[in-house]
Amino acid sequence: MLDHVSIRVADYDRSKTFYQAALAPLGYTLAMELSSGAGFRKAFIPDFCIRLSFRAERRRRGVEESSACRVEGSLPGRQGFLDSAASRLRSE
């Protein structure tokens, strides 16, 4: 059973308007809104949320764009990950 679903969006205002209209026929209403996110609910607790994407959040704060990178893998502990990442950065 899922507790809630949260997705990241590039255009918060457009997405909020879209989901308000799309979810209304299902009985969902806007339950809460923060500076970069909103929660929709049918019952008491919000179970569908939208949030501004990481890239859009950085743009909103005026942070210079940089290439995004996600690293996944299995290494022996946190220090193993840090050592591996540092080694890769030095080789570039």
> pLDDT tens digits for the chain (92 residues)?
668 888 899 888 999 999 999 999 999 999 999 877 999 999 888 889 998 887 777 777 776 655 555 445 555 666 766 776 677 677 65
Predicted pLDDT at 3: 81
Q: Is residue 37 one of the residues assigned to a domain?
A: yes
Q: Which range of residues forms the domain containing residue 46?
A: 1-63
Task: Summarize the chain as % helix, strand, coil (round to 5).
Answer: 40, 25, 35
Q: Is residue 84 one of the residues assigned to a domain?
A: no
Predicted pLDDT at 39: 93
Pairing type for strands 5-9 and 48-52 reads parallel
CATH number of the domain within which 33 lies: 3.10.180.10
Q: Is residue 18 one of the residues assigned to a domain?
A: yes
The whole-model pTM stands at 0.61
Q: How far is CA 19 from the centre of its chain?
A: 16
State how many domains the chain has: 1
Q: Is residue 92 one of the residues assigned to a domain?
A: no
